[in-house]
């Protein structure tokens, strides 16, 4: 199957038009026409080799929503014309303890990413969603509720699930005081989900212009973090803090904001190690944890939750020729709140 998209050829290159072949449908495969693909900061980290060596040519994109065009003979869970979503991985070993629990993102043998990796055959480079079509094993795709506006759905496939999963795991609920650091693609989904789950939500942001948006999204409080010393006044006020920042951060200043048994969950992946002050952990039996996207069953649960609560991402829909600019604006924290590429413009 011919695919038209955008690729980078090395870590310093800009995006250019790129045509490539996708595999013919296997019996359990679904082919889809891509309606929208979100731009995640992980795409930028990988295109620019901020996490170590990448594979090129690279077609990034792991927030994919589209319409089923064709199905293989063994596919029973999708039919032609249905809405379909694909996220950060396209396969996993299917047999390890974590895969059997529907936690494919923690596959003991390594999940297969949507791009910047070899497929499970060990030969073909996986190509992501910055293009017009996709082929996916039906077991690794999800259904999209009919009532949700499609452009705003694309970011749910990474940004959405990446915040929904830790909020559920650490039990966000009424009475819980949740902090979200960084109001970007991930962070703004964290605000919407934490609010829908009934928690008291505080946004920590280094951008003064985002306050009114944060409150509109459902945040109860907005704290500007330009002067990190001022955070001291919020010491021991939070049960759960989710750090979605794509850059390095003084993690100790935030650990001190946790109450007894509070947890700070690391979600942002700047690629450099944190320095953690042991005293900040010991003092109130605090935990420093991490969380990675979510498995297929939880992705479906999240999308159903969004359907029920009418939750989508706030997006700026762009044409494919705007992606290079969109990368610069994302790095400058200047996006409200996720760029989404219109699949018809490839």
CB nearer Zn ion, residue 34 or residue 158: 158
Told to check if 138 binds ligand NAP by CB under 6 A, we report: no
Residue among 31, 39, 40, 59 that touches Zn ion (CB under 5 A) = 40
Instruction: Provide the token pair at 89.
Output: 């991985």
Kindly indicate which of the ranges 63-71, 275-283, 288-296, 300-308 contains the residues binding ligand NAP, using the contact rule CB under 6 A.
288-296
CB nearer ligand NAP, residue 51 or residue 118: 51
Residue count, binding to ligand NAP (CB under 6 A): 30
Burial code (b: 16+ CB inside 10 Å, e: under 16) for 25-61 equals: beebbbbbebbbbbbbbbbbbbbbbbeeebebbbbbb
Are 244 and 166 within 8 A, CB to CB?
no
Give the span between the Cα atoms of 153 and 63, in whole angstroms. Answer: 9
293 contact, one of Zn ion, ligand NAP, none, CB 5-8 Å limit per kind: ligand NAP
Give the span between the Cα atoms of 210 and 213, in whole angstroms. Answer: 5
CB nearer Zn ion, residue 101 or residue 216: 101
Residue among 5, 113, 152, 184 that touches ligand NAP (CB under 6 A) = 184
Are 240 and 265 within 8 A, CB to CB?
yes
Told to check if 313 binds Zn ion by CB under 5 A, we report: no
DSSP string, 192-240: HHHHHTT-EEEEEES-GGGHHHHHHHT-SEEEE-SSGGGGGGGTT-EEE
Angle at 202 between CA 177 and CA 165, to 5 degrees: 65
Told to check if 107 binds Zn ion by CB under 5 A, we report: yes
Q: Which residue has the tokens 């200047």?
A: 334
CB nearer Zn ion, residue 163 or residue 199: 163
Told to check if 292 binds ligand NAP by CB under 6 A, we report: yes
Give the span between the Cα atoms of 194 and 178, in whole angstroms. Answer: 7
CB nearer Zn ion, residue 96 or residue 281: 96
Told to check if 117 binds ligand NAP by CB under 6 A, we report: no
**Using CB under 6 A as the criterion, which residues of the chain lie in contact with ligand NAP when the complex forms?**
40-42, 45, 158-159, 162, 182-187, 205-207, 210, 244-247, 267-270, 291-293, 330, 333
**Using CB under 5 A as the criterion, which residues of the chain lie in contact with Zn ion when the complex forms?**
40, 42, 92-93, 96, 99, 107, 109, 158
């Amino acid at each position: 199957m011919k695919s038209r998209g955008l690729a980078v050829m090395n870590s310093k290159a800009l995006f250019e038009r790129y045509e490539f072949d996708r595999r013919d449908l296997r019996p359990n495969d679904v082919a889809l026409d891509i309606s929208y693909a979100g731009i995640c900061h992980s795409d930028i980290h990988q295109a620019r080799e901020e996490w170590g060596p990448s594979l090129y040519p690279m077609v990034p994109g792991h927030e994919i929503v589209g319409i089923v065009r064709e199905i293989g003979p063994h596919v029973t869970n999708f039919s032609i014309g249905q809405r379909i979503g694909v996220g950060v991985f396209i396969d996993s070993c299917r047999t390890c303890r974590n895969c059997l629990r529907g936690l494919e993102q923690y596959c003991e043998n390594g999940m297969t990413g949507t791009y910047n990796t070899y497929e499970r055959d060990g030969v073909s480079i996986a190509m992501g969603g910055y293009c017009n079509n996709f082929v996916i094993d039906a077991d690794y795709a999800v259904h999209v509720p009919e009532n949700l506006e499609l452009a705003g759905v694309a970011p749910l496939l990474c940004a959405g699930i990446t915040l929904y999963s830790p909020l559920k795991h650490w039990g966000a609920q009424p009475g819980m005081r949740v902090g979200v650091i960084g109001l970007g693609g991930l962070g703004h989904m964290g605000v919407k989900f934490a609010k829908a789950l009934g928690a008291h939500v505080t946004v920590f942001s280094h951008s003064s212009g985002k306050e009114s948006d944060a409150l509109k999204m459902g945040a109860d409080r907005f704290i500007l973090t330009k002067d990190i010393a001022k955070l001291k006044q919020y010491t021991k006020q939070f049960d759960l803090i989710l750090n979605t920042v794509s850059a390095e951060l003084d993690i100790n200043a935030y650990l001190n904001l946790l109450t007894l048994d509070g947890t700070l969950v690391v979600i942002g992946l700047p690629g450099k190690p944190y320095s953690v002050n042991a005293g900040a952990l010991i003092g109130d039996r605090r935990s420093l944890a991490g969380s990675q996207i979510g498995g297929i069953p939880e992705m479906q649960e999240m999308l159903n939750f969004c359907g029920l609560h009418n939750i989508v991402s706030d997006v700026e829909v762009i044409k494919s020729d705007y992606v290079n600019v969109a990368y610069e604006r994302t790095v400058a924290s200047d996006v409200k709140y996720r760029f989404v590429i219109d699949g018809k413009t490839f």
